[in-house]
Structure 1
Amino acid sequence: MRSFGVCFWFGFLLLAGVPAMAESLYQENSYRPLAGDNKAFRVGDVVTVQVLENSSATTNADTTTRRKNGINADLSLTRNPTITGGINIGGDFDGGGRTQRASRLLAQLTVAVTEILPNGDLRIAGEQALLVNGEQQSVKLEGRVRPLDISDGNVVVSSRLSEAKITYVGEGDLSDRQRRSWWRGVVDWLGF
């Protein structure tokens, strides 16, 4: 019985020297009040971006150059008939070109908050991949958004993004047919 009492007091003294450790159920970095909104505000939260981008560009160029050079020579000899010679060089160039491009991208994708900047802005990034008629379509989005620009429904329009990088890429037979062949580039480089 005595050994039990010694062990008990020894264990009690040993535990008395160790401070008590407890964790709180409240975590400040992830707490959201019940009456708070559902906007993204920390790293890992998601926000929906409505991509509404329209762009158009038109370029016209007209070039006209004319050049004419002429050299004439006359030579007369007393015993031989008159020798006359001439060289005329001329060149004309008319060139023109027109480039017109219009694009429109409508998409909606949900991206994640990757960083909170010192001023409170959120850096967001994400990608959406679709398979349409056997062709892989991919939309990648990166940007910076102010929390003020995120709606109550946790949605932001792409025109409100700063430093936005939106990439829309398609891969498949149709996309391959729209690319110029390598030999066409060589012919254009040679000027044919």
Structure 2
Amino acid sequence: MRSTLILCMALGLVSACSRLGDVGQEPEFTPTFGTNAHYAMSAPVEEVPTSPRDVNRASLWSGGRSSLLGDRRAERMGDILTVVIEIDEGAEISNSSERSRSGSENLSIPGFFGIPERLNEELPDGASLDSAVSTNSTSSSGGDGSVRRNEKLTLRVAATVTAVLDNGILRIEGSQEVRVNFEIRELLVTGYVRPEDVSRQNEVTYDKIASARISYGGRGQITDVQQPRYGQQITDILLPF
């Protein structure tokens, strides 16, 4: 136990010392070089050759993505689209339960080939097998519970198509960091999108993202003050009361 306590204290000191360099310094942005989005946008684009039959040569407008009326929706690795997050949800659940049960059993052996009478003679005064077994039981339980939750979040973030699966589904990843004074607000979005769910404005809403992972938080001096100290977190885990 003593060695475990010393080890925990040593780990706490190491963690604390590793953050001493952040004193008086602004939190650094997360590097964007080397991320999945960076590799997706750096990969060479494979242009699909257009057949002459697919384009009306008599038209003044071309059918390419760069034309005035071309479709600029994200559809290949490295393309960028906008994720619209508008969460306004509420839930209220209330339930109650009540249960009761009672039971009684009485077993008597007044006559069984004369055996009870003979045994009664051997029993102490006042004892008899006329009422051999008698039990009574009563139980009851009740419970009440309620849950009430309200969430509202409105955000927009640009995401990059990091991969196109074999069935055409787009895997997207997006991140955004805004630093104000000594605090960074972070927004992370990942998930899978069908190309047909991307609107003409090259936007997709969060409710059309499969396996969506949305994180909105921060890091910096304000977040650091709001978090419990390492020692308090350890004692909250170890103390049983």
Q: Same fold (TM over 0.5)?
A: yes
1:143-181: CA deviation from partner (whole Å, max 9, x where unpaired): 111111111010111111011111222012221222122
Shift of 1:99: 8.1
Spell out, residue by residue over 1:79-115, the C-alpha distance to the aligned partner (whole angstroms, 9 max, x if none). Answer: xxxxxxxxxxxxxxxxxx9987654332111111111
CA distance in 2, matches of 1:177, 1:98: 32
**C-alpha distance in 1 between matches for 2:240 and 2:148:** 22
TM-score for both structures, normalised by structure 1: 0.57
- Whole-Å Cα distance in 2 between the matches of residues 100 and 184 of structure 1? 28
Partner of 2:188: 140
Which blocks of at least 5 consecutive residues in structure 2 are unaligned?
Answer: 1-46, 51-62, 95-144
* Preserved contact between residue 115 and residue 122 of structure 1 (Cα < 8 Å): yes
Do residues 160 (structure 1) and 208 (structure 2) align?
A: yes
* 1:45 aligned onto 2:45: no
CA distance in 2, matches of 1:171, 1:99: 30
Distance 2:166 2:199 in 1: 21
May I ask how many residue pairs the two structures share in their alignment? 133
User: Partner residue of 1:111?
Assistant: 159
How many Å separate the matches in 2 of 1:113 and 1:158? 15
Q: Which has the larger radius of gyration?
A: 1
Cα distance in 2, alignment partners of residues 106 and 133 from structure 1 = 23
Between the aligned partners of 2:219 and 2:76, the Cα distance in structure 1 is 34
- Which residue in the other structure is 1:28 paired with? 48
Q: Displacement of 1:32 after TM fit?
A: 2.6
Which of the two has greater strand per residue? 1
- 1:105 and 1:154 mapped to 2: Cα distance? 21
TM-score, normalising length: structure 2:
0.46
Percent sequence identity over matched residues?
32
Alpha carbons of 1:188 and 1:142: their partners in 2 closer, same or farther (altered >3 Å)? Answer: closer
Residue 239 (structure 2) pairs with residue 190 (structure 1)? yes
Q: Which runs of 5+ in 1 are unaligned?
A: 1-26, 61-96
Q: Secondary structure at the residue paired with 1:184?
A: helix
Alignment partners' CA distance in 1, 2:239 and 2:207: 42
Paired residue type of 2:164: I
Within 2, Cα distance between the matches of 1:169 and 1:162?
21
Q: 1:117 to 1:176 in 2, by over 3 A?
A: same
Aligned match of 2:219: 171
- Hey, what's the Cα distance between the residues in 2 that align with 1:161 and 1:99? 27
1:149 and 1:105, CA in 2 relative to 1: closer, same or farther beyond 3 A? Answer: same
Contact residue 52 and residue 159 of structure 1 kept, 8 A = no
For residues 177 and 205 of structure 2, the distance between their equivalents in structure 1, rounded to whole angstroms, comes to 20
Distance 1:150 1:109 in 2: 14
Higher helix share: 2
- Amino acid in the other structure paired with 1:40: A
